[in-house]
Amino acid sequence: MVLYLSEPDIAKVLTYEKLIPAMEQALAAFSAGKVIQPVRQILTIEEGKRFLGVMPAVTSDGMGAKLVAFYPKNEGTKHHTHTATISLFDPETGEPLAFMDGRLITEMRTAAVSAAVTRYAALPDAKVLTLIGSGVQAEAHLHALRHVCSFNEVRIWSRTAENARKFADKHLVKAMELEQAVRGADVIVTATNSLQAIVKGRWLKQGAHLNAVGSSRPSWRELDDDVMGNVVIADSREAVLKESGDVILSRAQIFAEAGEIFAGAKIISREQTTVFKSVGLAVEDIATARLVYDMLA
């Protein structure tokens, strides 16, 4: 029987304790060439406002695809900027196993991948976290990163000051001005739809680690050239060179893929300032979908 799993079904079983190591394994397999996955196809419905992404992948454990609607125009409304549906098949028999809501999976797997990279890249005594953007990904990263670091201070900045204040009140963190929030931070997350660089390299402390998960369009960016001149890690070299304005416009050199770090093929020093550019991969969705399916089937 083919299962249909709703977001509440998924929320009951999906945890960062299980998801973070699952993402490490999935990306290590991806970087080792054990995953069949093209760069996602993006259909532009309305430039800057409405997009549809098609994301297939085949792994040893799962096969399927995610359809994701990315609607920046929904920001500030009651509608999500990202919605998605995932289809999961058995890679051995080709039989459909499940169709499931993909919104929460997208939210959590993105933050889980950042947390996994942070565990390898951040200073071992990282204490200050800065969140840039106050939406779904800021909240997800706050929860996920607390599984790999013990923060004693969390800062938040948003282009809309009222949103930052609400986030700060809800999560008992500090709303601050942008430069003030970045300076001295050990771990930084940028999760915005910015069209131009808003974070400056001169603000970063030596040894800071930055997870950049927003602005995943070729002409959009969150980070200036000085930021991108640090040690850059990507989820996929091929994907960021086609999708990430931060990488494309700065002509940044990619030191490693996250999967190479997880597998020990590439080693980074925690004393270096590092940037993880994440555009999101289908293998992450399929691995998460399989994890959920195995817990609920």
pLDDT, tens digit (0-9, with 9 covering 90-100), for 107-164: 999 999 999 999 999 999 999 999 999 999 999 999 999 999 999 999 999 999 999 9
Q: Which two tokens stand for residue 172?
A: 């008992």
pLDDT attached to residue 76:
84
pLDDT attached to residue 1:
86
How do strand 231-234 and strand 63-70 relate by DSSP bridges? unpaired
pLDDT attached to residue 146:
98
Q: Does pLDDT of 267 surpass 90?
A: yes
Mean pLDDT of 83-102: 97
Q: What is the mean pLDDT of the chain?
A: 97
Mean pLDDT of 260-265: 98
β-bridge partners, 58: 36, 63
In whole angstroms, what is the distance from residue 100 CA to residue 102 CA? 6
Q: Does pLDDT of 287 surpass 90?
A: yes
Helix axes 136-145, 161-171, angle to 10 degrees: 30
Q: What CATH code is assigned to 3-106+283-296?
A: 3.30.1780.10
How do strand 187-190 and strand 174-175 relate by DSSP bridges? unpaired
Mean pLDDT of 6-20: 98
Pick the CATH number of 111-281 from 3.40.50.720, 3.40.50.800, 3.40.50.150, 3.50.50.60: 3.40.50.720
Which residue shows structure tokens 């920001």? Answer: 75
pLDDT band of residue 75 (cuts 50, 70, 90) is confident
- Give the distance between the most distant pair of CA atoms in the chain: 56
Q: What is the pTM of this model?
A: 0.96
For residue range 173-230, what is the model confidence (pLDDT) as tens digits?
999 999 999 999 999 999 999 999 999 999 999 999 999 999 999 999 999 999 999 9
Sheet containing 231-234, strands listed edge to edge, beginning at the edge strand earlier in sequence: 174-175, 153-157, 128-132, 187-190, 209-212, 274-277, 231-234, 254-257
pLDDT attached to residue 230:
98
Domain ranges of the chain: 3-106+283-296, 111-281
From residue 82, give the alpha-carbon distance in Å to each of 30, 50, 184, 211, 221: 24, 10, 32, 19, 18
Q: Residue 66: which of 28, 34, 37 has the closest Cα?
A: 37
Residue type, 18: K
How do strand 96-101 and strand 82-89 relate by DSSP bridges? antiparallel
Q: Does pLDDT of 105 surpass 90?
A: yes
